[in-house]
Amino acid sequence: MRFVLKCTTEVIPTNIFTPAETVVNYSESAKNKAARPAWAMFVLAALAGVYIAFAGAAANTAAHSLAGVSAARLAAGLVFPAGLCMVLLTNAELVTGNFLMSISALNRDIKIRRILRNWVIVYIGNFAGSVAVAAGCAFFGQLNWSGGALAVYTINAAANKCAMPLQNAFVLGIFCNILVCTGVLASLMAKDVIGRIAGAYFPVAFFVICGFEHSVANMYTVPAGLFANSIARYAALAADAGVNTSPLTWGGFLTRLAMVTLGNLAGGAALGAAMWACARRAQTKADGETKADGETKATG
Supply the mean pLDDT for the chain.
91
Q: For residue range 81-129, list pLDDT tens digits in order.
A: 999 999 999 999 999 999 999 999 999 999 999 999 999 999 999 999 9
Question: Averaged over 4-21, what is the pLDDT?
Answer: 66
Which residue, 119, 89, 105, 114, is CA-closest to 23?
105
Three-state helix/strand/coil letters over 247-270: CCCHHHHHHHHHHHHHHHHHHHHH
- The angle formed by the CA atoms of residues 143, 147 and 150, to the nearest 5 degrees, is 35
Count of all residues that appear for the chain in the document: 300
Q: What is the pLDDT of residue 279?
A: 84
Q: What is the Cα Rg of the chain in Å?
A: 22
Say if residue 15's pLDDT is above 90: no
Q: What is the pTM of this model?
A: 0.90
CB atoms under 10 Å from CB of 207, counted, come to 25
pLDDT at 299: 54
Q: By mean pLDDT, which of 42-46, 124-128, 180-184, 293-297 is the weakest?
A: 293-297
Are the CB atoms for 118 and 38 separated by under 8 Å?
Answer: no
d(Cα 146, Cα 182) in Å, to the nearest integer? 36
Q: What is the pLDDT of residue 293?
A: 52
DSSP string, 45-69: HHHHHHHHHHHHHHHHHHHTT-SSH
